[in-house]
Amino acid sequence: MHRTERQIEDYLSDYPYLISPEFEEVERQVRLEKDQIADLVYKDDQRIVVIELKKDRANKRDVEQIVGYCKYYQGGPRKVSGILVARSIIESARTLLDKENTKNPFHMEFKAIGSDIPRDITVCEECGRARGVEEDCKTLGCN
Ligand SMILES: [Zn+2]
């Protein structure tokens, strides 16, 4: 099954802990400036994490986009970071991401759908938590 960007956003906003275990809730389609809308944003007392989703391969423009979003949030008391989520990342975009990480106070990382983040998910009948179809439920007290 080939997922669209919208479908990826749907399941990752419903089950953001698939991106990172501490993400219990995220805001979706957050307008930052006039033409800037972040796909997902996670916030707690200590940090803000901007999450940008691409369905296929992430390119340099996608990295520049998430840099812009991180810059938007930067400067407050909370630590800012970014996660670029895509099926893969092209070499030049990876190089740019690494370079931007050395230049800026915020940290960005790439997460691959299909390895870092499950692509095909199922919802556990017992606890209602989502997981990759090939994984066991890791929830405490669940089989
Ligand atoms: Zn379960």
pLDDT digits (tens, 9 = 90+) for 83-97: 999 999 999 999 999
Number of domains the chain contains: 1
Q: Is 92 helix (H, G, I), strand (E, B) or coil?
A: helix
Calculate how far, in angstroms, residue 143's C-alpha sits from the geometric centre of ligand 1.
Answer: 6
**pLDDT for residue 143:** 64
Calculate how far, in angstroms, residue 2's C-alpha sits from the geometric centre of ligand 1.
Answer: 26
Calculate how far, in angstroms, residue 136's C-alpha sits from the geometric centre of ligand 1.
Answer: 8
On whether residue 33 sits in a domain, the answer given is: yes
Calculate how far, in angstroms, residue 98's C-alpha sits from the geometric centre of ligand 1.
Answer: 37
Nearest to 130 by CA among 31, 10, 34: 10
Q: For residue 113, what are the CA distances in angstroms to 72, 75, 89?
A: 26, 30, 11
Which range marks the domain in which residue 110 is found? 5-132
Calculate how far, in angstroms, residue 21's C-alpha sits from the geometric centre of ligand 1.
Answer: 15
Please identify every stretch of the chain with a pLDDT value under 70, giving residue numbers as ranges: 1-2, 143
For position 82, which CATH number holds?
A: 3.40.1350.10
pTM, two decimals, is 0.92
In the numeric block, which tokens belong to residue 128? 């209602």
Nearest to 91 by CA among 56, 117, 59, 129: 59
**pLDDT for residue 105:** 95
**pLDDT for residue 34:** 80
Calculate how far, in angstroms, residue 118's C-alpha sits from the geometric centre of ligand 1.
Answer: 16
On whether residue 50 sits in a domain, the answer given is: yes
**pLDDT for residue 2:** 61
Rg (CA), the chain: 15
On whether residue 143 sits in a domain, the answer given is: no
